């Protein structure tokens, strides 16, 4: 399965319908525009669902987890074993994403996309393992064409399952030591921004370590261009060459979700890198996206500007796991609820007269 096999409609672009929703928003008992970003969010969700009365049902957070061969180059402050340890922590209900998901009534699903560990017999982990981590993309492509297609297909299948169960809103999280390196390489190749704008501290690297990380990515891309004898790669080639199994799987999941007109809650730097790939193939996918927060990871603000995304939160977070999506969900609910439940000036007998 490849990117091109998806079909994503544009959100409702009918000007009359958009004006009708905007009028509905403006007629609520408040000064026009006084709910700020919530008003823009309500309009976006109504257009995405093509409904004057949008609704959110069975919200999910999906955590896609995988290991990365590039960690062999010292690009992370933590050893790769932390990926498996954190996955088990998720299943025990003890991580930040568990706390925030419980708090906000979000179903949480942990997916083994390619962790270098055996989770056989652990029912709390959805097995979609492509392999025990990607290859070291400094020297070879991170994954094969077949592995990439498998990852996209698994992501698509998981979304189809939760959509069949009645979900129409899904948040995207991840876990994978080394995955900020993949995300930075993806950002550089998609946006053409210099690497100094794309590479950050990740799990907490110091300045010299960040320089080393940047140098590794630069050399890896140079090696890939020489290996493939081209300076230009398609989105699917980029994820195959420098991506991770969890990032490829998120791409498939995002594309499938948008094909069902679901709302996509985009978390931070890693999830946004998957969206960069999906949007490079299907720009209309962004119409179904809610950008949960602006991560403190270097490059995320630039990513958001490139995608035209307006983050709901700026909390200085860079944890991943889908935590930003989980924390932003009550605001998404608030946008839908005020549109559906708030009184109008007429229904509340409130005057609209403005004093001179």
For residue 322 the two structure tokens come to 């889908």
Query: Which one of 161, 237, 321, 341 is the catalytic residue?
Result: 321
User: Does the annotation count 297 as an active-site position?
Assistant: no
Contact 61, 106 (CB under 8 A): yes
Q: What does the angle CA 266 – CA 270 – CA 272 come to, to the nearest 5 degrees?
A: 40
Give the separation between CA 127 and CA 124, rounded to whole angstroms.
9
How many residues are present in the chain?
Answer: 356
Contact 126, 114 (CB under 8 A): no
Helix, strand, or coil (residue 111): strand
Give the separation between CA 249 and CA 96, rounded to whole angstroms.
22
Side-chain half-sphere CA neighbours of 319 within 13 A: 17
Side-chain half-sphere CA neighbours of 121 within 13 A: 1
CA dihedral 151→154→159→165, nearest 10 degrees, is -170
Cβ atoms < 10 Å from Cβ of 328: 25
Helix (H) or strand (E) holding 237: helix 235-242
Q: Partners of 66 in the beta sheet?
A: 114
Helix, strand, or coil (residue 210): helix
Which residues carry out catalysis?
Answer: 321
């Amino acid at each position: 399965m490849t990117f091109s096999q998806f079909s994503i409609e544009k959100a409702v672009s009918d000007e009359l319908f958009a004006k009708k929703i905007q009028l509905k928003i403006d007629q609520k008992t408040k000064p026009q525009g006084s709910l700020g970003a919530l008003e823009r969010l309500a309009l976006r969700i109504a257009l995405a669902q093509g409904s004057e009365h949008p609704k959110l049902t069975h919200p999910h957070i999906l955590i896609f987890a995988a290991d990365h061969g590039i960690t062999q180059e010292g690009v992370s402050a933590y050893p790769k074993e932390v990926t498996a340890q954190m996955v088990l922590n998720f299943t025990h209900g003890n991580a930040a994403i568990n706390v925030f998901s419980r708090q906000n009534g979000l179903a949480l699903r942990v997916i083994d996309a390619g962790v270098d560990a055996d989770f056989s017999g652990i029912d709390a982990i959805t097995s979609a393992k492509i392999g025990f981590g990607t290859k070291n993309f400094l020297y070879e492509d991170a994954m094969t064409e077949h592995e990439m297609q498998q990852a996209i297909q698994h992501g698509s299948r998981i979304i189809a399952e939760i959509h069949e169960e009645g979900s129409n809103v899904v948040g995207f999280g991840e876990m994978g030591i080394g995955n900020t390196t993949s995300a930075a390489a993806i950002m550089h190749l998609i946006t053409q921004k210099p690497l100094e704008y794309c590479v950050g501290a990740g799990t907490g690297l110091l300045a010299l370590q960040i320089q080393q990380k940047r140098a590794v990515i630069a050399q890896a891309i140079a090696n890939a261009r020489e290996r493939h004898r081209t300076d230009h790669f398609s989105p699917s080639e980029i994820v195959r060459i420098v991506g991770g199994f969890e990032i490829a799987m998120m791409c498939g999941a995002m594309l499938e979700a948008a094909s069902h007109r679901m709302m996509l809650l985009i978390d931070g730097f890693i999830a946004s890198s998957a969206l960069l790939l999906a949007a490079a193939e299907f720009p209309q996918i962004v119409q179904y996206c809610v950008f949960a927060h602006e991560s403190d990871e270097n490059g995320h603000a630039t990513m958001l500007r490139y995608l035209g995304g307006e983050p709901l939160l700026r909390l200085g977070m860079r944890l991943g796991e889908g935590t930003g999506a989980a924390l932003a969900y009550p605001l998404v609910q608030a946008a839908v609820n005020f549109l559906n439940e708030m009184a109008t000036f007429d229904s509340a007998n409130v005057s609209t007269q403005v004093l001179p």
